[in-house]
Structure 1
Amino acid sequence: MTEERLAALETRLRRLEDEAEIRRLIASYGPLVDSGAADEVAALWTSDGCYDVDEIFLDGQAAISAMVRSAGHQRWIQGGCAHFVGPPHVTLKGDDAVAVCHSLMIVHEDGRFVVRRATANHWRLRREESGWAVTVRTNRVLDGRPESPALLRRAGD
């Protein structure tokens, strides 16, 4: 095997490993937030990362952790809820990445499960020494406003 071919294989393998790590990170959000694992949820973000949701803007890991610990979020957990994050489309650019996907918040109401919210998600991630982490996650409810599907079109931004 030539040095050039070996280098090309190593590059391809690194790309696949990066994409797999990013997908695992994104997939871990739902189970962590639904189990109330506040510190683990916050650790998905960089120390200066932010989470921009329609209803709230969380700046930094402490704010993200506090949201999971909040009385409102704890009521969702106690009542029965599932944050389901669909498979992301990942675009890598060196040590930075963008991922877009859908998410659903499903809640237990009156003996049945109901979709409370369907959301467009845009994730910005950066490779840190310890692995990939979220720098910015932007969510917008898919309620007909143009900015929500526009987030899904920004797979390479």
Structure 2
Amino acid sequence: MTLQETTMEDRLALLERRLASLEDEREIVQLLTTYGALADSGSSAELAAIWTEDGVYDNDVISMTGRDQIFAMVESAAHQGYIARGCAHFNGPVSVHVDGDTAVAVSHSLMVLHEDGAFRINRATANHWQLRRTEEGWRATARVGRILDGNELAPLLLRTGALGQLPPDPAS
């Protein structure tokens, strides 16, 4: 069927679907890229709200389940110490694949620390996000991150996320 053969209603419906898809992607990118600013400002509640109530944040250092544990991580002495000395969490760019009310995203992140009057990269991480549309908007159900230090899981997280696939089980 050519463009001339489609009805105005069909063309409008197609445009509405395309716009909704772009809006979903934009909302997810906005949500995930706020992580750094919220982490570095100590905004515990706002950072925890990136996740669903039962969301999982699993990285090389700690695995947290639920907003309360994520909130507590930001409030911890270790994290507050990073803020007091100077730190920057960079998360992006983000690649998003939306499938109805679920999505997969992938990103790199850097944690930069201020030490001895200079800044140094403390860690570079591969991040695989799983998200769900909720009444609050898009929220993360899982973020799995692994340091890019030769860890075999890190490139798999990047590859599966880039392809819009679920990650391998980090426990395996």
Q: TM-score, normalised by structure 1?
A: 0.98
Structure 2 runs not aligned, ≥5 long: 1-6, 166-172
Shift of 1:129: 1.3
Structure 1 unaligned segments of length 5 or more: list them.
Answer: none
Structure-2 residue corresponding to 1:96: 102
In structure 1, distance between residues paired with 2:95 and 2:122:
24
Q: Which residue of structure 2 aligns with residue 8 of structure 1?
A: 14
CA distance in 2, matches of 1:2, 1:86: 38
Number of aligned residue pairs: 157
Match of 1:28?
34
Larger Rg: 2
Cα deviation code 1:66-105 (max 9, x no counterpart): 0000001000000100000111110011000000010000
1:135 counterpart (134, 138, 141): 141
Flag as ranges the 4+ runs of structure 1 deviating above 2 A. none
CA distance in 2 between partners of 1:59 and 1:47 (Å): 9
1:43 and 2:49 correspond: yes
Secondary structure at the aligned position of 1:122 is classed as: strand
Classify the secondary structure of the residue corresponding to 1:143: coil
SS in 1 for 2:35: helix
Partner of 2:150: 144
Counterparts of 1:109-128 in structure 2, within 5 Å, are 109-128=115-134
What amino acid maps onto 1:73 in structure 2? Answer: H
Amino acid at match of 1:127: R
CA distance, structure 2, for counterparts of residue 102 and residue 59 of structure 1: 21
